[in-house]
Amino acid sequence: MKYTPNSPAIVEDMLRSAGFNSLDELFSDVPEAIRLDRKLKLGPGRSEIELTRELKGLAAKNLNTEDYPCFLGAGAYDHYIPAAIDQLLLRSEFYTAYTPYQAEINQGILQSIFEYQSMICMLTGMDVANASMYDGGSALAEACVLACANSKGKKVLLPDTVHPEYQQILQTYAISGKMEIVIVPSTAGVCDLEKMISLIDEDTACVVIQQPNFFGHLEEVEKLADAVHRNKGFLVMAVDPISLAILKPPADVGADIVVGEGQALGNSLSFGGPYLGFFAATKKFLRRLPGRIVGQTTDTEGRRAFVLTLQAREQHIRREKANSNICSNQALNALAATMYLTLIGSTGLQAIAVRCHQLAVYAARELEKAGLKLKYKAPFFREFAVLLDDPARANRRLLENGIIGGYELEDAMLLAFTEKRTGAEIDQLVAVLGGEA
């Protein structure tokens, strides 16, 4: 396939009209020594029919969650996506547009982002939200960068109940030398409050807490918030947006910056991306947030209008003084999230959150009845770990029985539940895992 539409005759005409004799002449400014004197080793171009064969073939080699019930979570969740979302996302005015720099011809995209920001504020209770980040992990890293840039200290404290990949991403971002990451061992699957509070000092820029945490359990946040605020640091929370339908909004427990993985809101699993990170904060950070922000204003005739605003924060203006370099974000994924929250609504989101929790509670009880033990006892939302001698073997057996099992920990399996799961599927899961007890 080629997507270059001009015929050879037209190309000839254009060359002459532009003052050139050949296509090669267009590259006369590229020194001979660095010109590629051979064809790229990519093979010949494919027709659409060949492409469909080849890609279908690759896709068919993957077991997918449409065919196999999936109990994996750990940061990406197999939620139902209303059919309307994909149809709407295929409106190519949305998906083939660039960032809406020209406000007058992109009011639709700008308004959708404004609506997205508003919904993220509704869920988290925070004052402001940006137009999205890459994903949950990188959003958390940027939240800590923001905290450090607005604090005298540079210590970032977090319990090891934060997602291990988030921990790793934070460590990677710390190569800047502007953050010092301190990971604090947890007890019984939740943050060790006493130890954590004892480590907070005036060099602490922020404390990070994930709610629910990586193991699915609920963390006591308020005391941490008080302690870090007393030392003029910030509380950064990473949250599961589905849980916010029933759990206290982060603003109510003292969070200063709230981030999270937004995939669960209407975005497919897609082997890990593209997802979206959401990013919200208190008013204090409005002019410091990373990324794009849409604001409401008026046009010259006084009509309501939307526009990219507070751009003096961003890299294209602030250049070497910018604390974040983000430009492209995950706008289309944020649009999917906006559509999801619109189509599901408050009652729908609550029903989903409650169902996820009830399924998890049911599974926990049935596993215990089958003689298995949960790794930790703390209250959980929709995910928990069950102790197993050989989680990898258990997963292989599940797969033989047509089930995609959970996330393998050293001595346990982390199981996640979405509204797509049923009691019958859980009974099957328990039957297989029960044999492992």
Partner 1 sequence: MEVPKDLLYTTEHEWIRVEGEQVYLGITDYAQDQLGDIVFVELPELETEVITGDAIAVVESVKAVSSVYSPVSGTVVESNIELEDLPELLNEEPYSNHIAVINISDPDELEDLMSPADYEAFCAEQE
Partner 2 sequence: MSKLIFEKNLKGSNSFTLPPADIPEVDITSSIPASFLRETAPALPDISEVEAVRHFVDLSHRAYGVDNGFYPLGSCTMKYSPKINEWAARLPGFTSIHPYQSVETVQGAMELLYNMQNMLAEITGMDAVTLQPAAGAHGEMTGVMIIKAYHQGRNDQGRTKMMVPDSAHGTNPATANVVGYDVVEVKSNRRGLVDLEDLKSKMSPEIAGLMLTNPNTLGLFEEEIQDIAAVVHDGGGLLYYDGANLNAVMGISRPGDMGFDVVHLNLHKTFSTPHGGGGPGSGPVGVKSYLADYLPVPMVDKKDDKYIFVYDRPLSIGKVKNFYGNFGVIVKAYAYILALGAEGIKDAAQQAVLNANYLRQHLKKDYHIPFDRLCKHEFVATAKRQVDENGVITLDIAKRLTDYGFHPPTVYFPLIVKEALMIEPTETETRERLDDFLQAMASIAEEARNHPEIVTNAPHNAVITRVDEVTAARKPVVKWEDDS
Tokens read off for 202: 């005036």
- Which listed range, 314-322, 329-337, 352-360, 411-419, lies at the site for partner 1 (CB under 8 A)? 314-322
Q: What distances in angstroms separate CA 333 from CA 77, 265, 277, one per listed residue? A: 15, 9, 9
By the rule CB under 8 A, 392 interacts with partner 1 = no
**281 binding partner (options partner 1, partner 2, none; Cβ < 5 to 8 Å by kind):** none
Backbone phi, psi, residue 225, to 5°: -60, -45
E strand or H helix that includes residue 235: strand 234-239
From 194, 205, 203, select the one nearest 235 (Cα to Cα): 205
Residue 323 as a binder of partner 1 (CB under 8 A): the answer is no
C-beta of residue 314 within 8 angstroms of C-beta of residue 288:
no
Q: Does 224 bind partner 2 (CB under 8 A)?
A: no
In the complex, least distance from residue 100 CB atom to partner 1, rounded to whole angstroms: 16
Using the rule CB under 8 A, which residue among 99, 231, 311, 358 binds partner 1?
311
SS3 54: helix
Measured distance CA(381)–CA(355) in Å, rounded: 10
Selected range binding partner 2 among 41-49, 183-191, 195-203, 225-233, rule: CB under 8 A: 41-49
Q: How far is the CB of 313 from partner 1 (least distance, A)?
A: 8
Q: Which of 187, 198, 270, 401 touches partner 2 by CB under 8 A?
A: 270
Q: Taking CB under 8 A as the rule, does residue 114 contact partner 2?
A: yes
The CB-of-275 to partner 1 minimum distance in angstroms stands at 31
The listed partner (partner 1, partner 2, none) that binds 240, CB under 5 to 8 Å by sort, is none
Say whether residue 63 binds partner 2 (CB under 8 A): yes
Task: Select the span of 235-243, 312-320, 362-370, 375-383 touching partner 1 (CB under 8 A).
Answer: 312-320
One of 312, 400, 410, 424 touching partner 1 (CB under 8 A):
312
357 interacts with partner 2 by CB under 8 A: yes
User: Considering the complex, what minimum distance in angstroms separates the CB of residue 150 from partner 1?
Assistant: 11
Q: How far is CA 124 from CA 92, 240, 254, 255, in A?
A: 31, 10, 11, 9
As a whole number of angstroms, the distance between CA 310 and CA 283 comes to 13
For residue 411, the minimal CB distance to partner 2 (Å) is: 17
- Smallest gap, in angstroms, from Cβ of residue 432 to partner 2? 15
End-to-end CA distance of the chain: 56
Query: If binding is defined by CB under 8 A, does position 321 make contact with partner 1?
Result: yes
- Among residues 111, 103, 87, 123, the alpha carbon closest in space to that of 336 is found at 87
**Tokens standing for 101?**
């720099």
Q: State in angstroms the smallest separation of the CB of 336 from partner 2.
A: 10
Which DSSP state fits 125? -
- Tokens 């059919």 belong to which residue? 83
Four-residue CA torsion sign, 351, 357, 359, 361: negative
Contacts of 319 (CB under 8 A, 6+ apart): none
Q: Which stretch binds partner 2 (CB under 8 A): 110-118, 150-158, 187-195, 369-377?
A: 110-118
The minimum distance between CB 324 and partner 2, in angstroms, equals 7
Cα(176)–Cα(420) distance, rounded to whole angstroms?
Answer: 42
Does 177 help bind partner 2 (rule: CB under 8 A)? yes
Is the CA virtual torsion 402, 407, 413, 414 positive or negative? negative
- Taking the complex as a whole, how short is the minimal distance between the CB of residue 312 and partner 1, in angstroms? 4
Site membership for partner 2, residue 251 (CB under 8 A): no
* Interacting residues with partner 2 between 183 and 212 (CB under 8 A): none
Residues 125-154 that bind partner 2 (CB under 8 A): 127-129, 131-132, 134-138, 145
Query: 228 burial class (0-12, 13-18, 19+ CB within 10 angstroms)?
Result: buried
Using CA atoms of 272, 335, 69, 384 in order, give the dihedral in degrees to the nearest 10: 70
Residue 434 lies near partner 2 (rule: CB under 8 A): no
Binding mask 258-297 for partner 1 (x = CB under 8 A): -----------------------------x----------
Contact set with partner 1 (CB under 8 A)? 287, 311-312, 317-318, 321
